[in-house]
Structure 1
């Protein structure tokens, strides 16, 4: 009888395994994954059967859970009236764009339904202490509301100064909301600050909560990766910086201080940022917090200089699919003279790789700046698999040596800028909740160029001939990790 039971159990396991495999294959084929992604999944599942199946269950399907999924599909229908009123304020929209930006702004108008919004006060911030001091100053001057969303809030140093400023504002009657990613901000939720803030009246939400009971309900690696601050529906910040003190953050990793970039903007662009925040808040809490409606024809722009215009692109479940990826491709193909890209994680899609190489081959001066040392071994090796093709096309690759360059920026012909939270990897482009600013402004472009040239001055240019002499073991490792490229 024991032998019979063991045989029956073996057949049941064998049958169960193939049912799961067939189910996964069915999902891959019916969801129209890209060819490299589909092939990678097939190989992982067949070469590493158990690991492959478990990996698929955690990372293969984009699911939020039933409640969040329903909310994500409903949020835009509920905000239509607000958007109609917003679009009726003609004074805030810029109807013309520069030659290099026109195609991208047309894409945004077609897919998001909005023209570019005039810039008012727009400033780039690169020094962590200056960023934090400016944020704290604005928090203390807030009159009505403060909303924040961050992937990482790491207690200690500068972060505690921001926490104290928020608590002080909440106690004087300012409506404060704070949304933090569960995985990225695990140290925050284990610290005293979550309780102190809630007791002071701040609404604190743990986004995409991770625990053992929800692993099969929510996709494990779908993260809230935005970094946004909204104050009084008028001032907004976004960029690459998490709420951390770079002097303390990940000191043991040996990669140096993290180097970031943030933009501070005043004006009606805060309305579209507020809509995105409202949608994120509703997906997590079920409650809608639409920003106040603008009064038609009563919008005053403080600056009298030429404004330029801004578009905000958000990604994630419930938002226009693949929009950031499309925007990057459109911007790269619009380049006529110079293209500079900074990213900490360079694992581009085939389309992006082809666009970048094509830009260099048609005479555009293309530079990519990445950190020499990275906090992710997997991404480090996967990135190197692209170097040969980029170098052959004429792309200049700079390895930043003065810390972990975490800035995410694209500058086209010193006129069209894209900055935000998205890395050049699959997770940022097709999975996470991300945000990107598209800015058509010559002065802003020059400011961004100055920062990027400074990065280059602290970088080492990768030599094409020297790179070609690397060992065969390095080539094997690069190609092995490239195998996981579509899964990163």
Structure 2
């Protein structure tokens, strides 16, 4: 009897094991976006070290939310959405023509997202975090209707507390305030007294993609709310790389210096498209719909630039798939004279790497600015794998030495700008909730060019000859870390 029982258990374990292997194999093969290299690595991992491979797949192999969140995400962002159809009827806000360098990208956005670029916006590029916070506090204090924010990281202390105090004051005078923060990135905020104090003042606070032991078994935990976005009175918006932290305090124990960020402040009708993205994120987390109002005549002031055009691209579960990846490729292939890119994390897809190298080889002056000092050991070493190929193609790689360069920007021919939260790595391209502003404006491009040139002047140029003579053990270490990147 005992022998029969144990044999039955063995058979059950054996059957379960092969069912899991077959299930994972099926899911890897039908996943339409996964590259051959990534699929092969997953299958080899599961077959060669099955128990570890199955465990890793369970936590990181599938891109999914909780069941309720996934159900909401699958239905809210659609080209047939009634709100979007109403927005399309506001024909006076759309720019039908774009510059030559931006035309392809804006056509892509029109096809994938359903609308032309939006005109009549007032743009300002902000490269100093302290200055950005002061301007933000002023806008919060002057708000008349509503304030909505989403951040990956809110770390209490210093000037971050000044923003919290300004929000509390606005809430107490009747301004409708909503705050959405990523559970993992803002763990210090949720453990501080600020969450309770702000809720008590009337601010609605949502802990996005909440992390807990129970949820480990319900959804993938490394899908994060990585957007940084502020909306005030459905008219003023901020977006870029800045988290709500005091740079003089944030991660100073790591010895990498202050984080250097870039934000864009915009007044105008583009706030409506930013608002619908926030509405979608809010609905995914709460189930409540908070659609923004459509643009009105106030959004079309004559003194605002009408020659420029803006598209807003959002990514994440429920949003147009692969859109940001397509946008980056289109922008790079549109370059004719000069391409400048800044990113703190450089682990591009094969397609992006090929596009960047091809741009340099066809005569485009290509520069990539990355941090010399890094907060991620894995990404630091994995990114080094790409240096030799980029340098060989003629790409100039600059390593910023005055802190951690956290800005995410692309400038094409001083005309087409991409500013947002997207890093050039797999996590930003495939997993997280991200946002990118696509701006067709020569004046804005000149401002971005000036800032990027300042970054370059504070950087070290990587020497191709010196890089080729680096120690052999470092090459092996780079390959080991790079080997892990397709698992994302």
Question: TM-score by structure 2 length?
Answer: 0.97
- Cα distance between partner residues in 2 of 1:375 and 1:7: 51
Q: Is the 8 A contact 1:415 1:446 kept in 2?
A: yes
Match of 1:129 in 2: 130
State how 1:61-76 maps to structure 2 within 5 Å. 61-76=62-77
* Equivalent residues in 2 for 1:84-99, closer than 5 Å: 84-99=85-100
* Secondary structure in 1 matching 2:100: coil
Query: Which region of structure 1 is more displaced relative to structure 2, 449-458 or 286-295?
Result: 286-295
Matching of residues 63-462 of structure 1 within 5 Å: 63-76=64-77, 80-295=81-296, 299-462=299-462
SS in structure 2 at match of 1:82: helix
CA 1:255/1:90 → structure 2, altered by over 3 Å: closer, same or farther? same
Q: Residues of 2 paired with 1:79 and 1:205: CA distance?
A: 28
Q: Encode CA deviations 1:7-32: one digit per residue, 9 max, x unaligned.
A: 66555444433322221111101223
CA distance in 2, matches of 1:411, 1:47: 44
Distance 2:384 2:4 in 1: 53
The separation in 2 between residues aligned to 1:35 and 1:58, in whole angstroms, is: 21
- Residues in 1 aligned to 2:305 and 2:221: alpha-carbon distance in whole angstroms: 47
Which region of structure 1 is more displaced relative to structure 2, 278-287 or 5-14? 5-14
The CA deviation at 1:80 is: 2.5
Do 1:120 and 1:303's aligned partners in 2 also have CA atoms closer than 8 Å? no
1:63 Cα deviation from its structure 2 partner:
1.0
What stretches of structure 2 of length at least 5 have no aligned partner? none
Aligned partner of residue 424 in structure 1, secondary structure: coil
Looking at structure 2, the residues matched to 91 and 299 of structure 1 have their Cα atoms a distance apart, in angstroms, of 10
Give TM-score scaled by structure 1 length.
0.97
Q: Distance in 2 between matches of 1:192 and 1:306?
A: 45
Show structure 1 runs of 5+ residues with no match: none
Given that residues 79 and 114 in structure 2 are in contact (C-alpha distance below 8 angstroms), is that contact kept between their aligned partners in structure 1? no
- Whether the aligned pair in 1 keeps the contact of 2:180 and 2:205 (CA below 8 Å) is yes
Asked if the contact 1:119–1:310 (Cα under 8 Å) also holds between the matched residues in 2, the reply is: no
**Alignment check: 8 A CA contact 1:238 1:420 kept:** yes
Q: 1:386, CA displacement in angstroms?
A: 0.7
Change (3 A) 1:91 1:474: same
Q: Say which SS state the counterpart of residue 100 (structure 1) adopts.
A: helix
3 and 156 in structure 1: CA distance in 2 versus 1, 3 angstrom threshold: farther
Moved more, 269-278 or 75-84: 75-84
SS in 2 for 1:179: strand
Once the two structures are superposed, residues 282-311 of structure 1 have per-residue CA deviations (whole angstroms, 9 ceiling, x without a partner) of: 00000000011234x674225255531100
Equivalent residue pairs, number = 487
